[in-house]
Each structure stands twice: as C-alpha cells, then as structure tokens.
Amino acid sequence: MFRRGLTDSNALFEWLNRSSGEGFAAADNKLTRSTGAVTALDTTGARLRSWELIDVFPVRWRGPDFSVARPDPLEEELEITHHGFRAREAR
C-alpha cells in the first residue's frame, strides 16, 4: 500500500478509471496492466534503491479524511497488485 499527500495531478484517477467502473467496461472488462517503479530516497534526495513492479494495476484507493477536528495533512492511499518485481541497486 502506498500513501502520499494529496496532489493536484489527475494521473492516478485516470489510471483508476481505466481499471474500474465505466472505464473497465469500455475496455470489454479487460485490464491493461502497467509497469511501475518505486524508489526509496535518503534525506538528501539521493536514490537508495528502487523496485520495478511487473503487471501492476490498482485494487483499492482511499481518499483523504476531511475533518476540522484533525489537523493532519490530507493523504490518499493506493493499494496495488502485481505479478512480481525486480530490485535495482542504487547508482
């Protein structure tokens, strides 16, 4: 599961829409799997390690909790599934 602060980009929603609901139905109920990557950075922004994810698609998204009682930053969560990964060493 991935968690990030809320952004103004629609790329995540476009990917979700192609994998569910009307977007999924428009593709004859067939998933388009993607290749993804996750990169871990140190405190200076230098790459520590990365992983290439094979045949990725989203399975769950959770939006931010809007509450005046919570001072936490707005976050969203994404759960994915994949068919394997390759670890990459830091360069």
pLDDT tens, residue by residue, 17-29 = 888 888 888 989 8
- Give the count of domains, the chain: 1
For the segment 51-85, what is each residue's pLDDT rounded down to a tens digit? 999 999 999 989 888 888 878 888 899 999 999 99
58, 78 contact by CB (below 8 A): yes
Q: How far apart are CA 36 and CA 2, in angstroms?
A: 13
Whole-model pTM: value is 0.72
What is the domain range of residue 6? 2-89
